[in-house]
Amino acid sequence: MRPRILDLNVLQTLVAIADTGTVTAAADRLAYTQSTVSMQLHRLEALLEMPLHEREGRRIRFTAEGEQLIGYARKMLALNNEALDSLRQRQVSGQLSLGIPEDYAFLLTSVLSHFSQLFPAVQLQVICGSSVRLLQQVQAGELDLAVVTRQTRSPGGEVIRREPLVWAVGAEKQPSLIDPIPLALYSPGADVFREVAEQALFSAGRQWRLAYSSQSMTGLMPVVVAGLAVVPVTRDMLTPQLRVLDERSGMPALQSIEMALHRPSGRPTEPARQMAELIREHLAGDG
């Protein structure tokens, strides 16, 4: 009889479901389809010959055996990362220019710290800017690697994560949602959030007006918190000063966005390859 061996990729999916609570959210985190996530969960149950979960509407509730396995899965994934880190600890030197969207810098803080610890001989330069500008710099060969946000199913690059967008207003104050809806948006061409918001409102036949624009989320926040505008954000960007508008508000649903890695054509440098691997691991397992 062949031994039963647990697949780390499937365990990563199990942990993602546990962390996010739904198959849909886990699929977004891992950049999988919902059917892939469901299939992996059912295959795991078939392998172990026991149920691991129950459905409560859209949410997943794990059985006692499922919770037990999740604990082991976290340990196994951590040990896997520890082994990879140990094997990476060889002398890698050179320079690496990395582009990241300004409003997603917080997601990559631990990655940058981890990279510097693993490869202290690499001179790391981080450039923050709009995804549009970062992509132009990659194509011009000015950046070795960039993380960009974009609409789903955009061409090129490597999708590493999907993020649902939501409408947010101030936690204590909000504007009237009667047309024209006051919006706080990035400046034209600055990022994908504005494109997705405009498309959703147009498709729903809603009218809107630009109450405030900025190149960064930091610049938009004072107006939103003051109750003067609505802003499209990912859930990672939510703060205690914001709250999400649900479907009862009458605002149209927003499409998800993608986070993707882009590199210049040709063989990547070793520092770029190692950074891409760390980013891929971190963003697939967080969120």
- What's the whole-model pTM score? 0.69
pLDDT of residue 117: 86
Asked if residue 241 is part of any domain, the answer here is: yes
- Distance (Å, whole) CA 35 – CA 19: 18
Token pair for 118: 């693993």
Which helix H or strand E contains 186, and what residues bound it?
strand 181-186
Asked if residue 109 is part of any domain, the answer here is: yes
Give yes or no: residues 77 and 130 share one domain: no
pLDDT of residue 167: 97
Residue with tokens 């966005």: 257
Give yes or no: residues 174 and 33 share one domain: no
Structural domain containing residue 263: 91-287
Token pair for 261: 């890695």
pLDDT of residue 89: 63
Asked if residue 2 is part of any domain, the answer here is: no
pLDDT of residue 85: 75
Out of 67, 88, 109, a domain closes at 88
Asked if residue 47 is part of any domain, the answer here is: yes
Out of 88, 112, 132, a domain closes at 88
Query: Exposed/middle/buried for 173, CB within 10 Å: 0-12, 13-18, 19+?
Result: exposed
Q: What radius of gyration do the chain's Cα atoms show?
A: 21
Give yes or no: residues 131 and 83 share one domain: no
How does pLDDT run along the chain (287 residues), one tens digit per residue?
567 889 999 999 999 999 988 998 888 888 788 899 999 999 999 999 899 999 888 889 999 999 999 999 999 998 998 888 777 666 788 999 999 988 788 888 889 998 998 888 899 999 998 888 999 999 999 999 999 999 888 888 999 988 889 999 999 999 999 999 999 998 776 678 999 999 999 999 999 999 999 888 888 999 999 999 999 999 888 999 999 998 889 999 999 999 999 999 888 899 999 999 999 988 875 44
Asked if residue 119 is part of any domain, the answer here is: yes
Give yes or no: residues 195 and 244 share one domain: yes
Give yes or no: residues 23 and 83 share one domain: yes
Backbone angles phi, psi at 7, to 5 degrees: -85, 125
pLDDT of residue 189: 63
Domain CATH for 48 = 1.10.10.10
pLDDT of residue 287: 44
User: 3-class DSSP state for residue 257?
Assistant: strand
Give yes or no: residues 122 and 75 share one domain: no
Count of structural domains, the chain: 2
Domain CATH for 99 = 3.40.190.290
Instruction: Decide: 108 and 125 in contact? Cβ < 8 Å.
Output: no
Asked if residue 3 is part of any domain, the answer here is: no
Give yes or no: residues 95 and 129 share one domain: yes
Asked if residue 1 is part of any domain, the answer here is: no
Give yes or no: residues 165 and 265 share one domain: yes
Give yes or no: residues 101 and 188 share one domain: yes
Out of 40, 56, 88, a domain closes at 88
